[in-house]
Amino acid sequence: MLLLLLLLLLLLFLLLLLLLLLLLLMLLLLLLLQLLILLQQLLVLLLLLLLLLLLLLLLLLLLLRCYGCCCCYCCCCYCCCCCCCCCYCCN
């Protein structure tokens, strides 16, 4: 009878240990899932930042683009070639 009781206690202890291990495994998986969600959010934020940087670069290229005809002329002992109508060599 005592042996049966000890066996039952050992089985109960092993069952509790298994339950504890399963609980720790579930917690580890939950932490891994949280990490993956955080990495996904970081990746989305990085992609949005890259898109914003590309849009700013495109806007800068559009603003710095010269319009009008190209002209080359010499005055005041300087020779200038310019594709911007707002560009002058001498006053």
SS3 label, residue 73: strand
**What per-residue confidence (pLDDT) applies to 90?**
47
Confidence of residue 83 (pLDDT cuts 50, 70, 90): low
Is 70 exceeded by the pLDDT of residue 12?
yes
11 occurs within a structural domain: no
**What per-residue confidence (pLDDT) applies to 64?**
72
Candidates 77, 75, 59, 73; CA nearest to 85 is: 73
Cα distance between residue 28 and residue 30, in whole Å: 5
Instruction: Please write the tens of the pLDDT for every residue from 13-57.
Output: 999 999 999 999 999 999 999 999 999 999 999 999 999 999 999
4 occurs within a structural domain: no
- Residue 65 identity: R
DSSP symbol at 75? E
**What per-residue confidence (pLDDT) applies to 82?**
56
57 occurs within a structural domain: yes
The pTM of the full predicted model, rounded to 2 decimals, is 0.52
20 occurs within a structural domain: no
Is 50 exceeded by the pLDDT of residue 58?
yes
13 occurs within a structural domain: no
The total domain count for the chain is: 1
58: containing domain: 33-91
Q: How many CB atoms are located within 10 Å of the residue 80 CB?
A: 14
Cα distance between residue 29 and residue 11, in whole Å: 27
